[in-house]
């Protein structure tokens, strides 16, 4: 308690500058070129996710735990750059994995400050890497791309960036929809590990077709192909990531080095005394197709399931509502619950439906109110209409032209208003002038 108190007092004494420096250290790295010039590079956002938030996910709490038999010390050994160069060269990759000081800084970050996050990601990779590999294999892509979500989301399926990118692969809405991911008020398939993985593989395949170089394709995944083309143009047409590097956005300057570092640490964690979290794989799952709206709570309560597990298996349903009435929709369930759902299907749909699926498709109007309002408006119109009429008394010697001149009208209009066929009028009579 005393130690914590000193930390709080220290933060208060040093004020905002201390906090700003700490924040900058988290979000940026500084590199020095051969001429001694310092350059600041933004760190990909996911590298700053707190490990506590990762460990609070349902899969983490249920299926991950610290490896109790780990005999590694917590010491992070230092190695010469030749060791890193040799290790990277031994990776069975198609994507180029060169070493430089920027790559080294990201490796140091993973092996130092982010050691616990790496331990989590090594455990969580058992859930997600097989999905990534299947999608990449489908499009014939290098399997080392499976580590892109390490720098995109830290393998957090609920990750949402500051600019609104969502899910393991961090799709923006526009790109997600372009690659077939449905996003609306009820559904966000960017959160679906399977569908988003196939969409990401498709997108990466298209980017490689554009640039013919995996480092450029990976950089384009981060900042978009337009920014890569601009950087190539500014560099004089050099289609090489390390040649266009100075012309890239700051985060993209760190993106490919972070990807190389992620490949390194996910393969050489033992050499840095990092123990993976122990993983108990979830039970097998199955899918059910529904053509009616259903709430996850209806399934959980009737079938005796854990609603948090259902949410984890179906993260695309933003409000826990499966909108089956809109189109045939998929629900992923633990395999042990499939028969229970089929047996109790009618009970599930009827359970608290009025409360959980309360969306009126028809409403009746209050006719008495409408009648009252209509009558009130009609009377108002009559008053307005009668108030607009004007008549005058014809004086001795008046003519239609004289009356028309006094009332800013014409003889013809006076004849029309009063049903006159000629110009004969009688003194003392009323004549409508408006």
Give the CA distances from residue 284 to residues 159, 281, 288, 332, 334, in Å, rounded to whole numbers and listed in that order. 24, 9, 14, 10, 6
Catalytic residue among 152, 251, 309, 364: 152
Alpha-carbon distance of 158 to 160, in angstroms, equals 6
Cβ–Cβ under 8 Å, residues 329 and 290 = yes
Cβ–Cβ under 8 Å, residues 176 and 161 = no
Strands 28-32 and 38-42: antiparallel
* 152 is an active site residue: yes
Alpha-carbon distance of 23 to 8, in angstroms, equals 16
- What tokens appear for 422 in the block? 């000629």
Q: Where are the beta strands (DSSP E) in 327-394?
A: 329-334, 391-393
Alpha-carbon distance of 198 to 216, in angstroms, equals 20
202 Rama sector, left if φ>0, alpha if ψ -120 to 50, beta otherwise: alpha
For the chain, the 3-state helix, strand and coil shares in percent, each to the nearest 5, are: 55, 10, 35
CB neighbours (10 Å) of residue 427? 10
CA 246 to centroid of chain Cα atoms: 29
Point out the residues that are catalytic: 152
């Amino acid at each position: 308690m005393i130690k914590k108190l000193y930390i709080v007092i220290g933060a208060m004494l040093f004020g905002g500058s201390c906090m700003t420096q700490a924040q900058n250290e988290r979000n940026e790295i500084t590199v020095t070129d051969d001429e001694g010039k310092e350059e600041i590079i933004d760190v990909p956002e996911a590298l700053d996710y707190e490990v506590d938030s990762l460990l609070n996910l349902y899969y983490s709490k249920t299926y991950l735990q610290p490896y109790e038999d780990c005999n590694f010390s917590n010491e992070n050994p230092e190695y010469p750059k030749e060791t890193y160069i040799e290790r990277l060269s031994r990776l069975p990759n198609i994507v180029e994995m060169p070493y430089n000081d920027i790559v080294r800084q990201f490796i140091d970050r993973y092996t130092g400050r982010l050691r616990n996050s790496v331990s989590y990601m090594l455990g969580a990779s058992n859930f997600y890497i097989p999905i990534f590999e299947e999608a990449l294999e489908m499009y014939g892509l290098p399997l080392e791309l499976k580590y892109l979500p390490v720098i995109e989301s830290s393998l957090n399926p609920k990750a949402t960036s500051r600019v609104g990118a969502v899910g393991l692969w961090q799709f923006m809405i526009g790109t997600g929809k372009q690659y077939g991911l449905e996003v609306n008020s009820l559904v966000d398939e960017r959160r679906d590990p399977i569908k988003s993985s196939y969409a990401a593989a498709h997108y990466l395949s298209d980017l490689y077709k554009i640039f013919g170089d995996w480092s450029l394709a990976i950089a384009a995944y981060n900042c978009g192909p337009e920014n890569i083309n601009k950087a190539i143009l500014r560099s004089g047409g050099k289609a090489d990531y390390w040649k266009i590097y100075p012309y890239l956005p700051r985060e993209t300057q760190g993106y490919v080095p972070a990807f190389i570092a992620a490949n390194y640490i996910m393969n050489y964690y033992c050499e840095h005394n990092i123990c993976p979290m122990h993983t108990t794989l979830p039970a097998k799952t199955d899918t059910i197709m529904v053509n009616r709206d259903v709430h996850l709570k209806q399934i959980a309560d009737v079938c005796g399931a854990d609603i948090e597990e259902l949410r984890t298996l179906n993260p695309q349903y933003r409000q826990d509502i499966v909108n089956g009435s809109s189109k045939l929709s998929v629900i992923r369930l633990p395999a042990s619950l499939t028969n229970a759902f089929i047996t109790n299907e009618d009970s599930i749909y009827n359970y608290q439906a009025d409360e959980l699926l309360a969306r009126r498709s028809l409403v009746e109007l209050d006719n008495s109110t409408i009648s009252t309002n209509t009558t009130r408006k009609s009377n108002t119109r009559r008053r307005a209409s009668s108030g607009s009429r004007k008549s005058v008394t014809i004086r001795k010697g008046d003519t239609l032209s004289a009356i028309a001149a006094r009332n800013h009208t014409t003889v013809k209009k006076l004849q029309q208003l009063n049903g006159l066929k000629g110009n004969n009028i009688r003194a003392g009579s009323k004549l409508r002038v408006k």
